[in-house]
Amino acid sequence: MGRSPCCCHDANVKKGPWGEEEDKALVEHIQRHGGHVGSWRSLPKAAGLNRCGKSCRLRWTNYLRPDIKRGNFSDDEERLIIRLHAALGNRWSTIATHLEGRTDNEIKNYWNTHIKKKLLRMGIDPVTHQRLPPDLLLLDGGAGHLAPPAVLSPEAALLSAAASLGSLDTTLRQVQLLQNLLNAITSTDGVVAAACLMASNLAATTNATKNSSSIAPNFQEQMNMLAHASYQLPDYLRDVPSFAEQDMAQQLNTITTAPVLRSSADSAESNQQIDQRCSAAELAPAETYPQEVAAAVDRPMQDLANLEPLELPNLCSLEFDPFWKDILESNFSS
DNA sequence: AATAATGCCAACCGCGCGAAT
DNA sequence: GATTCGCGCGGTTGGCATTAT
């Protein structure tokens, strides 16, 4: 037969917040054993605690461990978390290994309560790290309320782009081009998403250049972007696949060579190392995309000089915050 | 001042994987 | 080989603190 049962299902073990005496007992027990826990299962009894071993482990790893760094997250840590999340997703424990003194629980909480909201308010999807379509941007002045969740279909994205472009005949041809493009590439979900993004980006580009006589190059740029990279990603994500693969390889080899933020003094160097790792990858080759895409891109562009001004939601005031302004400009400058 | 709404985070829950039996 | 558990993980919750009305 297998092992003996765990204490966690015992109704008599205490749950809920830890008291000072319990903390003291746990810390002293671990210190008596030279900082080595051994078996968490047997620890509560040995330490004189009426707790489940699992509860002891959580209390120690998330709160009592002596190397835990308390206090607010620095800008460097925040940037690193964003970048790591882009590469690794919700793998909080892996992310935590890159930030010395921070626990997975702490990072997870910080992400959910701070960073996620900031990204949303900036118009960035915190899950995909891609720019949200205009329809899903959060409106400033809404007392901080989030927009209702919504899913924008490719067709809706195109309609949105069309509406944003106004009713001029010349723009309809652009939208028709988008439609053709979409029809050609809807066999791949990821590229559909890219088409959605491009449609929204087109709308944003239109807004940005509403007083310019040279919108056509911008549109061409959007087309090229889709054809050659399929996604418009923030700079910090452009080489994420390589970064993620490297991280996986690291885990497989159980080699902990990843940069760790040890102090503000050498944090810049650590970030530089990450930059180097991220910049090692290359964009997907254009030939991996259907020929129809290339054909669409090669069509002559119409002059869109007389476009109607575009009504788009305003981004929130975070754009004027130095830290977030830096991220916005570096990732989404057109 | 009272109440409601929201923010925050420590702790819990349940699951998957690998190890022990 | 089958069974059972320890451990670690990500998701969720409960309750206190703070802010808004």
Q: How confident is the model at residue A28 (pLDDT cuts 50, 70, 90)?
A: confident
Taking the C1' atom of every nucleotide in all shown strands and the CA of A62, the nearest one is B10
pLDDT for A324 equals 52
Which of residues 267 to 296 on A have a Cβ less than 7 angstroms from any strand B atom? Answer: none
Which of residues 55 to 114 on A have a Cβ less than 7 angstroms from any strand C atom? Answer: 57, 90-94, 104-105, 108-109, 112
The backbone torsions φ and ψ at residue A124, rounded to the nearest 5 degrees and listed phi first, read: -115, 130
Question: What pLDDT, in 10s, does the model give residues A176-190?
Answer: 444 444 443 333 333
Taking the C1' atom of every nucleotide in all shown strands and the CA of A70, the nearest one is B9
* Measured distance CA(A86)–CA(A72) in Å, rounded: 21
What is the CATH number that goes with domain A7-64? Answer: 1.10.10.60
A111 touches strand B (CB under 7 A): no
Q: Which residue has the higher pLDDT, A63 or A199?
A: A63
| Closest residue to C5 measured CA to C1′ | A3
The dihedral over CA atoms of A240, A243, A249, A252, expressed in degrees to the nearest 10, equals: -80
Taking the C1' atom of every nucleotide in all shown strands and the CA of A4, the nearest one is C5
Residues of chain A with CATH 1.10.10.60: 7-64
Question: What pLDDT, in 10s, does the model give residues A276-299?
Answer: 433 332 222 233 333 333 333 333
| Closest residue to B8 measured CA to C1′ | A113
Q: Which residues pair with A124 in a beta bridge?
A: A131
A2 touches strand B (CB under 7 A): yes
pLDDT above 60 (res A15) = yes
In sequence order, what DSSP letters do the residues of A268-327 get, joined into one string? HHHHHHHHHHHTT--PPPGGGS-HHHHHHHTSPPPP-TTPPPP--PPP-GGGGSHHHHHH
Question: What pLDDT, in 10s, does the model give residues A155-168?
Answer: 344 444 444 433 33
Closest listed residue to residue A208, CA positions, set A85, A334, A321, A25: A334
pLDDT for A31 equals 82
Question: What pLDDT, in 10s, does the model give residues A86-112?
Answer: 878 888 888 888 888 888 888 988 888
CA dist A75 → A80, A82, A237, A300 (Å): 8, 11, 18, 45
pLDDT for A293 equals 31
Mean pLDDT of A113-130: 81
SS3 A131: strand
